[in-house]
Homo-oligomer: A and B are copies of this chain.
Amino acid sequence: MESYEILKSLAIIIVAAKLCGLAASKLKAPQVVGEIIAGLLIGPSVLGLVEQTEFLSQMAEIGVVLLMFFAGLETNLKDLMKTGPKAFLIACAGVLVPLIGGFLLYSCFYGFSSVGTDEFYTAVFIGVIMTATSVSITVATLQELGHLKDTVGTTIMSAAIIDDVIGIIVLTFVIGFKNPESSPFKVVGNTVLFFVMALIVGVIGYRIFKYLDKRYPHTRRIPIFGLVLCFAMAYIAEKYFGIADITGAYVAGIILCSIQDSSYIARKVDISSYMIFGPLFFASIGIKTSISAMNGTILLFSIGFVVVALVSKIVGCGLMSRALGFKGKDSMKIGVGMMTRGEVALIVSQKGLAVGMIDSVYFTAVILLILVSSIITPIILKVLYRSKA
């Protein structure tokens, strides 16, 4: 293939993603939903203008790595520590209940399989997809309502962040267990080793960047070396510890999230991301989603998936909040605030597809979940905050 041929795919994907993204915005849905639908439209499922090539999947990989790096960079470690304990318990409940819910849902549809079989892991994986709350959608909603900084808001934010971390750890474990060569012992060992390595790299890296930041504030070298840290951590995580590359990228973001120029780095990464890599990542999900494999069972499954995913978050987070002393209504707000899903659910599904744990047909269920949760969460939250009681 001539090199210039890729320019055609890039032009088509980026323009379609942006147009559909803007259309989604108009309809008050998140832009990513539009971008995914754009991929669906231009991909083999509908118009066939663009095909999934190796180049596109490599660009999409860079895209998701950048997104997770950005998420790490945006983390506020101090706030996280402050509302810590309560948020941690809420997040745990918010991971556990959907995980079990997803597992039961899949098993009810396709039968219960014995522990260790492929089907068993697929069932677990469906649960894993349900665990991750989307920070970005939660933030946008709370900010719009003006309740980002009150107790409930901060708790939701912290829980959503912790939820992300737990979700990624669960993902790492499940993928590690699935690998036939690895024993549970090895997986745990590798995970511990990775986090030890991350801590060492983190302490050293943080000092180096703090020095660079003081000596050369707001210079190009800071985001560039940050990006290098991100790519290196992502590669090392996957290559030497068998841990998802996105975990490595996220950890790289966390390492840099407390330096002075972290938002400077985040802005540069964000621009590279939304100009090219982001649209390619989201559109490529649409391009890979196979509509032709859709049938009655899967449609029914998708609906069940959405219901279980939403209800299990409200139940898990809401009941735990209540148990921790929040009032009934505040508990409800926390439960609802935690039910939005977004990029991370897609990233997790994407990873599951890559390692052969789930089929691309389940992408439809995930997209439906993001769409529904992103639309109804702001509406329900608005109602909850407005009704005085």
Give the interface of A toward B (CB within 8 A).
2-8, 10-11, 14-15, 18, 22, 54-55, 57-58, 61-62, 65, 220-221, 223-225, 227-228, 231-232, 234-235, 238-239, 245, 268-269, 271-272, 274-276, 279, 354
B61 with A14: CB separation less than 8 A: no
B10 with A62: CB separation less than 8 A: yes
A-B contact pairs, 22 of them (CB 8 A): A3-B354, A4-B61, A4-B238, A4-B245, A6-B58, A6-B62, A7-B231, A8-B231, A8-B232, A10-B62, A11-B232, A14-B224, A14-B228, A15-B225, A15-B232, A18-B224, A54-B55, A220-B274, A224-B274, A224-B275, A224-B279, A272-B272
A57 with B3: CB separation less than 8 A: yes
Q: How many copies altogether? A: 2
Q: Chain B residues near A279 (CB, 8 Å)?
A: 224
Chain A interface SS verdict (over half): helix
Q: Chain B residues near A268 (CB, 8 Å)?
A: 271, 275
B6, B224, B235, B354: the one contacting A8 at CB < 8 Å is B235
- Give the Cβ gap from A268 to chain B, nearest Cβ, in Å: 6
- Give the Cβ gap from A168 to chain B, nearest Cβ, in Å: 16
Q: Chain B residues near A221 (CB, 8 Å)?
A: 18, 22
Q: Chain B residues near A274 (CB, 8 Å)?
A: 220, 224
B235 with A11: CB separation less than 8 A: yes
Given contacts A7-B235, A220-B274, A271-B271, contact A55 B57 (CB under 8 A): no
Closest partner residue, chain B, to A275 (CB atom): B272
Give complex CA distance A58, B4 in Å.
8
B8, B14, B223: the one contacting A275 at CB < 8 Å is B223
Give complex CA distance A27, B211 in Å.
23
Closest partner residue, chain B, to A354 (CB atom): B3
Give complex CA distance A331, B173 in Å.
71
B3, B15, B22: the one contacting A61 at CB < 8 Å is B3
Q: Chain B residues near A14 (CB, 8 Å)?
A: 224, 227-228, 231
